[in-house]
Amino acid sequence: MKEILANNIPNQWFFCNPFKNSNERIIEKLSKKTGVVFFFEKPFKNSDFVKAIGPLTFLCRKKKIIFLIQSTFFWASKYKAQGILMDKNNKFLCNMVSLNLLKTKFFLAIKVHSFIEAVKFSNNTDLIFISNVFRTNSHPERKELGVKNFIKLCVFLKKNLNYALGGMSKKNLARVQNKNLNGFGAISYFRK
């Protein structure tokens, strides 16, 4: 199944925090050309996250939208996700046997914020979200990479599928477009 989906990887990704009320409406408007990444900001209760994403994953499957779930093999399997968004502290990254097993069934994605993280994770993932390219409304406390550092990371990660994340708008996307960029991920971009 992973091989079949490989040719249909979206170039746009809606980062969906399932605790926001407008998500169902946003997913209803999406086409198959946009994927969904279900993520959470800590602290949270795992049971609350799982309960919140249930109806949204059903909607994605109904609309044939590719979706990823953050950090959980069990729930990614149960909800028939196509991938897992691992965070840098994810225990699967430390266990290559588990990581190789995951890679046979799921797309593996990660967010990288620096060259150190890019070196560490570039060989073990299919999709890389390079973040934060610009300042964002959703995470105003996070420092931006800026255009030069972002493009340097894209060149370094050219063997991966790279996506810009953080402060994405049509104008900002045009500023970072390069041959090693496959698309972008966003939150606010899809809330308009």
The residue whose two tokens read 């799921």 is 106
pLDDT score at 125: 86
pLDDT score at 7: 65
pLDDT score at 25: 93
In terms of DSSP H, where are the helices of the chain? Answer: 2-6, 23-29, 46-62, 73-78, 96-105, 115-121, 147-156, 170-176
SS3 category, 68: strand
pLDDT score at 141: 81
Render 144-175 in DSSP notation, one character per residue: P--HHHHHHHHHHTTTSEEEEESS--HHHHHH
User: pLDDT 10s digit of each residue in the chain, 192 long?
Assistant: 444 455 689 999 999 988 887 889 999 999 989 999 998 876 556 788 888 999 999 999 999 999 999 877 888 889 999 999 987 665 454 444 466 667 778 889 999 999 999 998 888 788 999 999 998 877 778 889 999 999 999 999 999 999 999 999 999 999 999 999 999 999 888 987
Q: CA 33, CA 151: separation in Å to the nearest integer?
A: 24
- For 146-152, which contacts have Cβ atoms below 8 Å and span 24 or more sequence positions? 147/175, 147/176, 150/176, 151/176, 151/178, 152/115
Which H/E stretch holds residue 13?
A: strand 12-16
Q: What are phi and psi of 185, to 5 degrees?
A: -125, 150
Q: Which two tokens stand for residue 191?
A: 């809330």
Q: How many residues in total does the chain contain?
A: 192
